[in-house]
Chain A
Amino acid sequence: MKVSLIWTSPRPEKTIAVAMRRCYSTKPIEEIESELEQKGAEYWKYLLGKAMQDKSLDVLEHFTMTLLVEGAGETEVGNLVRGFPYLRATQLKDSDWLLSLNSRTLVELWRDPRGKGFAQLVVSELDGANVCPIFNEMAFGERIRAS
């Protein structure tokens, strides 16, 4: 199975931070966004760490991505989709698929033996594209320590 990243939502760590601040702030979005810009990536990392620690993974659902999966059989994809209903798959042709998911589902796939192999391929793509270095370190840190 080959996984390639087609698209990810822009500035994932900041988007997750926006969702977290939305829950606890009465300010309009423009003010939350400029406050987050001012405080910078260290603060986004702090908020993300807090979400992971509190197991408030809902905020991760706003970081979304679409992948091209090549060389995957219907059974293989079917098993993933059945186990993880928020993972959406569309067969393009033969063994080629479009798959969309959010980063909460990615974390859940990573933590589940049924999804770990697929999650590793996705995380490696995210690493390669340097889309979300803070998120990858916080969510999949064991991979970094192990290598």
Chain B
Amino acid sequence: MRWLSEREFVRVKLLYNTDLDALKRVLAQKGVAFDPEALMDHVVYMFEIEDCSRVTTHQLVRHRAVSYDQESQRFSAATREGVVTPASIQTNEAAYKAYDEALKTVYSAYEKMVAAGVPKEDARYILPSAIKTKLVMTLNARNLMHLVWQRTALQAQWEIRELASTLHSLAREATPELWAKIIER
């Protein structure tokens, strides 16, 4: 499987999806017409999401009836290069300077605390929400469609919009018949 969205932030990979043809064969055997709506609960996708900020994963995990396993900061050391910088900060010299200085201070404090013997799970209290994270997520088409509807909306934030539209593209590519009816925003 290939990566979609090779950018500075948010990389998504489809790890597996339910074989729609296997379900369609059962429907045919039972003489039941194919209905995407009826199969939404039975087609499941597992994704790997990387280089996404914790700001965005806080928004993501508000979608329930979805299974998540996320990189823990309790045991893994945080690294300074792994942060997402919003364009509004990147393109504003004064803002970027303040952002960069704050990050340097935060990471220096984190490293000092860990070196002084503070457990990573406690030192992490100081880490920024901009930090990049990785997680696996498994959900069915009904929940994915709800997520796509809500998080590609114009009022959603840029990073989760990017994530939701990438999830949408991968799911649509893997199971086009199921997604034919969704209206593009």
**Which residues of A approach B to under 8 Å, CB–CB?**
6-7, 9-10, 15, 18-20, 22-26, 28-29, 58-59, 61-62, 64, 66, 68, 85-86, 88-90, 92-93, 96, 98, 100, 102
Nearest B residue to A87 by beta-carbon distance?
A: B41
- CB pair B30–A93 under 8 Å, yes or no, is yes
Residues of B within 8 A of A85 (CB): 65
With an 8 A cutoff between CB atoms, is B57 at the interface?
no
Nearest B residue to A16 by beta-carbon distance?
A: B69
List 9 A-B pairs, minimum CB-CB distance, nearest first. A61-B67, A88-B41, A19-B69, A29-B48, A100-B42, A7-B22, A64-B44, A62-B138, A26-B76
Nearest B residue to A85 by beta-carbon distance?
A: B65
Measured between C-beta atoms, what is the minimum distance from A62 to chain B in Å? 5
**Which residues of B approach A to under 8 Å, CB–CB?**
13, 15-16, 18-19, 22-23, 26-27, 30-32, 38-39, 41-42, 44, 46, 48, 50, 65, 67-72, 75-77, 79, 134-136, 138, 140
Query: What are some 26 contacts across the A-B interface (CB < 8 A)?
Result: A7-B18, A9-B18, A9-B44, A15-B15, A18-B136, A19-B136, A22-B48, A22-B136, A23-B70, A23-B72, A24-B71, A25-B71, A26-B71, A28-B134, A29-B13, A29-B50, A29-B136, A58-B67, A62-B46, A88-B41, A89-B41, A90-B38, A90-B39, A98-B39, A100-B41, A100-B44
